[in-house]
A and B are shown apart, each in its own frame.
Chain A
Amino acid sequence: MGGAAQQTAFESGGAAMSAILILIAASLGMACLFLAAFIFAVRRGQFEDTSTPSLRMLADETESKRNSSISETKSKNNEHKRRNI
């Protein structure tokens, strides 16, 4: 008797899966946090411009020449190179 009940306990591990609740809570918590961050960032206009940020990040090595635009700096560099050659 009771064999069937015990068999299911064998297979499923019984109710011993409470840890998954912690994991789901933690994972969902993280997901919600990121979702909130995403919405917040969109509202702040973080993702409105999807082209110039990738160009601007290239420019920070040339702080001393910050008045010149990226293209100018580049052409200057090229000039230097040409002269060196």
Chain B
Amino acid sequence: MNTNVETFKYDNRIVRAFAIATIVWGIVGMSVGLLAAVQLFFPDANLNFQFITFGRIRPLHTNAVIFAFVGNGMFTGIYYSLQRLCKARMFSDALSWLNFWGWQAIIVSAAITLPLGFTTSKEYAELEWPIDIAIAIIWVIFTVNLIGTILKRREKHMYVAIWFYIATALTVAVLHIVNSMEIPWSWMKSYSMYAGVQDALVQWWYGHNAVAFFLTTPYLGLMYYFLPKAADRPIFSYRLSIIHFWALIFIYIWAGPHHLLYTALPDWAQSLGMVFSLMLIAPSWGGMLNGLLTLRGAWDKVRQDPVLKFMVVAVTAYGMATLEGPTLAIKNVNALSHYTDWTIAHVHTGGLGWNGFLTFGMLYWLFPRLYQTKLWSTKMANYHFWIGLLGMMFYIIPIYVAGVTEGLMWKQFNKDGFLQYPNFLETIVQVVPMFRLRAIGGSLYILGYVLMIVNLYKTAKAGQFQKDVEAQAVPFNKKSEESGSHLWHRWLEARPLTFTALSVVAILVGGLVEIIPMYLVKENVPTISSVKPYTPLELLGRDIYIREGCLACHSQMIRPFRSETERYGEYSKAGEFVYDHPFLWGSERKGPDLAREGGKYPDAWHYNHLDDPRSTSPGSIMPRYSWLLTQKLDTTSLPARIKALRKVGVPYPAGFENGPAQKDLQAQADKVVANLKTGSINADSDREIVAVIAYLQRLGTDIKSAPATQTQTTNAK
């Protein structure tokens, strides 16, 4: 039996690199989040500096904490545990380091481009096309490294964590590619291939599964490795872990439409999403219970060991978030919760609790082992735990209160049947104190994080890093099992880079196969005759609206409730969005819905409001956009934009971009300037503000101009 024992080395350097990256990007992402939170009660915290204004740093925060902090955390845990579970070094050191540096380069490019306003506007997929391609390539490299390691493993049985890693790698690749289908019109900008309701459906299929397969499955894998390790006892039920894994991955991918309940998405798709979301409770709680029950009879350990404390809270937060998620996916609950801060509270239960605390627990466990020493200060780790937990409470509870308050106030009618709070601003002013408390919570969470950085740094200083850890194992007899595929494996193991290149080619070919039918699809023809493509000026205004991230606070989707139609006008129809590449429905209302903004206020009001929102709306928390008044409108790229849109099915006439478009643009800009003059404002027609006003005045007006018979309201509620 012991005759062919093989000696090999685990690669700890790559683990350490990812761990350091996790720690660094974590503090960056959380600090940006805090800055965004402060701007919600103190708008001038952006220093009137466009690059750090809420609309631009909100995607920076979400991308940084999801893909930089949790992403690196995931790689840290996978690179550590996979080698040990497989009893093998990673497939290829070169791929490991390509994975590492490629991922960091992507993060840096995100940190530069998002503040500059290069965004696709699709949530958690904001990065523009060149970075999207880089992500696909780096992800393939990671997947090859993962699969390669599994193939050359010396342990026959694949521990359940490995299955979670495989599901993560494969599914994220598919999600990313399908949702990132876009037509570039410049080296950094593109339009989504899909329009309106289709784009919304694809986006939230992606968005939901990004949570499922980026924030959940890899971290469940980590839980199944690090929780038993830290507790030094086996998982409660290995059988349950296998069942809940397979159930989870088969159900998760269908739940996306719950992000679009009561929108213009077809009803049957909404119901499908809701049913699958409810079914998800079972496998999710399977995971939570398995984690918690592992500690049965060992609660004395939990009391003493900060690592286990972090993990217990993480698993509990996972359980709460996965009960709450399906609850929010019930249509009746969603009617109240959607667009409110309830959603923000929900994701932060998962983010701060599940992902954050599990990462902390893992790092506290990992560092002493990487550096062959004891944790520098258990007491300090305990302080981190309690301060972090307090921070979470101060974040989540006020934001729940804010969310429910918003939802109730928006829907409140008075005795005479009018809206109790017809002015949206009243409802947001009401919850501003909650935003202040939230910022305190966030600060506490970061304070705890800083304690962790000090503690881990001191631990590293005190210990000695061992970059290669020697281990021995007996390879299992592959020959008898694999026979035919054996040679192929041998070949593969020898050529990691060749195999990676081939995989990239395969993914790209697959991508092309998916793109080509898109060109053949003709369904994007308008279904409402009065709905027309945007004029050139409106198009440029819309692109500025995207650049500034206006959709972070303003939805463009009126749901069919009386409370919404009273406030905003006729509810939104799927046919209104056929030229929206990308869709801009939004997911949050920190300001009123803008789907029917067109014609509600004069041009001059918008001018003043964008220059200084508090001049027209005292108490408003909207940032000033004074740079729109001075920056010149970029008209040189207009032909490229029109051509790109025509490619995805917007029927601009042939040759429109060579002359007629520019004339049209100038004429409309002059009209806006003339309108502004009647409001005694002198503006130049070549400024960005003119385009933004033109766009805002267009919103939702296509339906208004349609014959009255078509806009009969048949509201359900």
Q: Which residues of B contact A84 (CB under 8 A)?
A: none
What is the CB-to-nearest-CB distance from B677 to chain A, in angstroms, rounded to a whole number?
Answer: 38
Find out whether the CB atom of B238 lies under 8 angstroms from the CB atom of A53.
yes
Q: Quick one: closest B residue to A2, CB to CB?
A: B529
Q: Which residues of B contact A61 (CB under 8 A)?
A: 229, 369
Which of B238, B470, B529 meets A50, CB within 8 Å?
B238
Find out whether the CB atom of A30 lies under 8 angstroms from the CB atom of B229.
no
Proximity string of chain A (27-52) to chain B, C-beta cutoff 8 Å, 1 when within and 0 when not: 10111011101100100101101110
Q: Which residues of A contact B68 (CB under 8 A)?
A: none
Which of A44, A53, A56 meets B481, CB within 8 Å?
A44
Q: How far is the CA of A76 from the CA of B235 in the complex (A)?
A: 22
B422 interface hit (Cβ, 8 Å): no
Q: Which residues of B contact A63 (CB under 8 A)?
A: 470-472
Q: How far is the CA of A51 from the CA of B160 in the complex (A)?
A: 12
Find out whether the CB atom of B157 lies under 8 angstroms from the CB atom of A49.
yes
Proximity string of chain B (449-473) to chain A, C-beta cutoff 8 Å, 1 when within and 0 when not: 0000000000000000000001110
Find out whether the CB atom of B710 lies under 8 angstroms from the CB atom of A10.
yes
Find out whether the CB atom of A47 lies under 8 angstroms from the CB atom of B242.
yes
Find out whether the CB atom of B264 lies under 8 angstroms from the CB atom of A13.
yes
Most buried by A among B242, B256, B578: B242
Q: How far is the CA of A27 from the CA of B241 in the complex (A)?
A: 23
Find out whether the CB atom of B249 lies under 8 angstroms from the CB atom of A19.
no
Find out whether the CB atom of B527 lies under 8 angstroms from the CB atom of A58.
no
Find out whether the CB atom of B228 lies under 8 angstroms from the CB atom of A54.
yes
Find out whether the CB atom of A30 lies under 8 angstroms from the CB atom of B199.
no
Q: Which residues of A contact B232 (CB under 8 A)?
A: 58
Find out whether the CB atom of A50 lies under 8 angstroms from the CB atom of B710.
no
Q: How far is the CA of A16 from the CA of B580 in the complex (A)?
A: 13
Known: A6-B529, A63-B471. A23 touches B201 (CB 8 A): yes
Q: How far is the CA of A55 from the CA of B157 in the complex (A)?
A: 12
Q: Which residues of B contact A54 (CB under 8 A)?
A: 228, 234-235, 238, 241
Known: A17-B266, A53-B159. A58 touches B201 (CB 8 A): no
Find out whether the CB atom of B159 lies under 8 angstroms from the CB atom of A13.
no
Q: How far is the CA of A52 from the CA of B155 in the complex (A)?
A: 13
Proximity string of chain B (679-710) to chain A, C-beta cutoff 8 Å, 1 when within and 0 when not: 00000000000000000000000000001011
Most buried by B among A3, A22, A61, A66: A22
Find out whether the CB atom of A33 lies under 8 angstroms from the CB atom of B574.
no
Which of A13, A15, A27, A50 meets B253, CB within 8 Å?
A27
Find out whether the CB atom of A15 lies under 8 angstroms from the CB atom of B238.
no
Known: A27-B254, A33-B170. A57 touches B159 (CB 8 A): yes
What is the CB-to-nearest-CB distance from A46 to chain B, in angstroms, rounded to a whole number?
Answer: 6
A20 interface hit (Cβ, 8 Å): yes
Find out whether the CB atom of A23 lies under 8 angstroms from the CB atom of B710.
no
Q: Which of B261-278 contact A (CB under 8 A)?
A: 264, 266, 269
Find out whether the CB atom of A26 lies under 8 angstroms from the CB atom of B174.
yes
B158 interface hit (Cβ, 8 Å): yes
The SS class assigned to the A binding surface is helix
What is the CB-to-nearest-CB distance from B114 to chain A, in angstroms, rounded to a whole number?
Answer: 26
Find out whether the CB atom of A13 lies under 8 angstroms from the CB atom of B574.
yes
Known: A23-B178, A30-B170, A34-B167. A12 touches B228 (CB 8 A): no
B18 interface hit (Cβ, 8 Å): no
Q: How far is the CA of A37 from the CA of B85 in the complex (A)?
A: 19
Q: Which residues of A contact B103 (CB under 8 A)?
A: none
Listed stretches B130-138, B190-198, B356-364, B381-389; interface member: B190-198
Which of B201, B253, B470, B707 meets A30, CB within 8 Å?
B253
A7 interface hit (Cβ, 8 Å): yes
B575 interface hit (Cβ, 8 Å): yes
Find out whether the CB atom of B253 lies under 8 angstroms from the CB atom of A31.
yes
Q: Which residues of A contact B249 (CB under 8 A)?
A: 34
Find out whether the CB atom of A16 lies under 8 angstroms from the CB atom of B196.
yes
Q: How far is the CA of A22 from the CA of B201 in the complex (A)?
A: 11
Find out whether the CB atom of A46 lies under 8 angstroms from the CB atom of B514.
no
Q: Which residues of A contact B481 (CB under 8 A)?
A: 44
Q: Which residues of A contact B84 (CB under 8 A)?
A: 57, 60
Q: Which residues of B contact A10 (CB under 8 A)?
A: 527-528, 573-575, 710
Q: How far is the CA of A57 from the CA of B246 in the complex (A)?
A: 20
Known: A23-B178, A31-B253. A9 touches B197 (CB 8 A): no
Q: Which residues of A contact B369 (CB under 8 A)?
A: 61
Q: Which residues of B contact A33 (CB under 8 A)?
A: 170
Proximity string of chain B (144-170) to chain A, C-beta cutoff 8 Å, 1 when within and 0 when not: 000000000001011110000011001
Find out whether the CB atom of B574 lies under 8 angstroms from the CB atom of A58.
no
Find out whether the CB atom of A18 lies under 8 angstroms from the CB atom of B521.
yes
Find out whether the CB atom of A30 lies under 8 angstroms from the CB atom of B239.
no
Which of A14, A15, A53 meets B157, CB within 8 Å?
A53
Q: Which residues of A contact B85 (CB under 8 A)?
A: 57, 60
What is the CB-to-nearest-CB distance from A39 to chain B, in angstroms, rounded to a whole number?
Answer: 11
Q: Quick one: closest A residue to B87, CB to CB?
A: A60
Find out whether the CB atom of B198 lies under 8 angstroms from the CB atom of A17.
yes
What is the CB-to-nearest-CB distance from B201 to chain A, in angstroms, rounded to a whole number?
Answer: 6
What is the CB-to-nearest-CB distance from A36 to chain B, in angstroms, rounded to a whole number?
Answer: 12
Known: A19-B202, A20-B201, A49-B157. A55 touches B234 (CB 8 A): yes
Q: How far is the CA of A13 from the CA of B576 in the complex (A)?
A: 8
Q: Which of B200-257 contact A (CB under 8 A)?
A: 201-202, 205, 225, 228-229, 232-235, 238-239, 241-242, 246, 249-250, 253-254, 256
Interface residues of A (CB under 8 A from B): 3, 6-7, 9-20, 22-23, 26-27, 29-31, 33-35, 37-38, 41, 44, 46-47, 49-51, 53-58, 60-61, 63, 66
Using A3-B707, A34-B246, A54-B238 as known contacts, list a sample of 4 further A-B pairs with CB atoms less than 8 Å apart, ordered by residue number in A: A14-B574, A26-B174, A41-B158, A50-B242
The 8 closest A-B CB pairs, nearest first, are A13-B574, A14-B527, A19-B198, A54-B234, A9-B527, A54-B238, A50-B239, A10-B573
Interface residues of B (CB under 8 A from A): 84-85, 87, 155, 157-160, 166-167, 170-171, 174, 178, 194-199, 201-202, 205, 225, 228-229, 232-235, 238-239, 241-242, 246, 249-250, 253-254, 256, 264, 266, 269, 369, 470-472, 481, 514, 521, 523-524, 527-529, 573-575, 578, 707, 709-710
Q: List 6 A-B contacts (CB under 8 A).
A: A10-B573, A12-B574, A16-B198, A20-B198, A37-B166, A53-B160
